[in-house]
Amino acid sequence: MPRYRRPSAISDPATFAFQAPGAQRGLMMGALVLALLIFALDLAQANNGQAYGVAYVVVVLVGLWITTPAYPLLAAAGVTGLLMIDLAYGWNDHLPEAIFVNYPLITALLWTTAAVVVRFKRLEGRSQADVQRLAELTAALDEAAIVATTDVAGRITDVNQKFCDISQYARGELLGQDHRIINSGLHPPDFFKGLWQTIASGQVWQGEIRNKAKDGSWYWVDTTIVPFLNDAGRPYQYIAIRHDITARKRGEEQLRHQEALARVGQLAAMVAHEVKNPLAGIKGALQVIMSRRPAGDPEVPVMRDIIDRADALNELISDLLFYSRPKPPQPSPLDLHSLLNESLALLKRDPIGQTIATSMTGPEITIAADRNMLRGVFANLFINAAQAMQGSGAIDVSICLDGDLVQVTIRDTGPGIPEHIRDQIFEPFFTTKSRGGGLGLAIARRSAELHGGSLSLESPVGGGAVATITLPLTPRPPQAS
């Protein structure tokens, strides 16, 4: 069955009760009985000069609750007939008064009441039709968009279910809050300042915003904010209509990533051809010259430094080639504990990692993976953590098994990842270090993806950084990056 159902514009249970067929028949029977009672009373008391026929107005007014459109006019005609019978048989002693005063006034009142009731019913019908159309438009909007209303201070006054679904907050958690509750931190303050200046001036604002759900995941929305203006032309509330464009933004990001890979590949091929071979010649020539220098020659350290710089440049070129044109992994059975211990040993050989406390927990697991490739991934993450902690702190490694996936979590006690660079840390050539090519994390993620796994980095509220590597127990096709 379709999810959308036509909404009802009537929400008052009493209205539904009056519209029931049984209730309608009861109202009509009651009106008839009331008319006969008034007729009998008026007939009995006519000679006393009492015009009880004015009570027939109640019979006509019952038409406010009777759905038959012609009822008010039919009721007015019926009770007018009863008035004529009263006039003919009950007003012998006061006939002139009845003919010229009482009954003309009562008749005019009855038909005026009937006309008012008919007019009211027509207006009510139009109003209900308008409310029905508004309810249908609201229901359609709720099905198609993420909707929220706020007051002039930005406090949320209402949200629809789609807003709750995408933000992962319950309605009660959102009402009374402002939209900072879903602020992802991506957009600078000037972005929102311009937004508020636009809508506060009574103009519609349109744009794309990245928000953060309750679980910390982010999502993109194409947003239109419409201000509602009072008679003075000032906003008294705003309605925001959003559409989820997360899939589109991820597709754009993937396309940019592929374009960047293509550019890196072209650069790597050119550099490898023009630089790598001359570097090898320079290094070889320096090594020959060094071998001919006497012991204690002050020029030897200079030449050794040149060789170190050449090796670093050669390593960067190799990273470029691997990142742009990676070789497929050569999987073989390997013990994950053993591999992690090897990477931690590499950390301890580096001066920055010698004073870092390390620990590892989790079951011993054997996976099929490329040993050299994964050793480089873990070593890179360990070195980055040690550098972030400036050689003083702790690294905790935990292993857990989830079905046919193994998850390795690396936590450090450093300062964490600054919020303004969290979206750039995996971009090639992005680095915060004075020396380095900015390819370490990009290659680490690419290596995990080549195994059919993933790599993510987070910075918890309590501090530190958390790297999570997910790998399949058996080889899988690479995941899309």
Class of domain 332-472: alpha beta
CB atoms within 10 A of CB 401: 12
The tens digit of pLDDT for each residue in 248-261 reads 998 888 787 777 76
Nearest CA to 114 out of 31, 49, 182 is that of 31
Instruction: Find residue 246's DSSP bridge partners.
Output: none
d(CA 272, CA 268): 6
d(CA 308, CA 304): 6
Predicted pLDDT at 4: 44
Predicted pLDDT at 195: 94
What element of type H or E holds 56? helix 56-61
pTM of structure: 0.52
Strands (E), 137-204: 146-151, 156-159
Contact 414, 431 (CB under 8 A): no
Nearest CA to 368 out of 478, 471, 448, 477 is that of 471
Under-50 pLDDT residues of the chain: 1-6, 9-14, 480-481
Fold of 145-244: Beta-Lactamase (3.30.450)
What CATH number is given for 250-324 in this structure?
1.10.287.130
Contact 392, 355 (CB under 8 A): yes
SS3 112: helix
Contact 4, 139 (CB under 8 A): yes
User: Which ranges in the chain are annotated with CATH 1.10.287.130?
Assistant: 250-324
Predicted pLDDT at 245: 94
> The tokens 């450093």 sit on which residue?
414
User: Which ranges in the chain are annotated with CATH 3.30.565.10?
Assistant: 332-472
d(CA 352, CA 385): 10
Predicted pLDDT at 397: 93
Cβ neighbours of residue 155 closer than 8 Å, sequence gap 6 or more:
176, 177, 178
> The tokens 């807003």 sit on which residue?
163
User: Which ranges in the chain are annotated with CATH 3.30.450.20?
Assistant: 145-244
The sheet with strand 235-244 has its strands ordered as: 156-159, 146-151, 235-244, 218-229, 205-212
Nearest CA to 57 out of 97, 98, 115 is that of 115
Residue 50, phi then psi, degrees to nearest 5: -95, 120
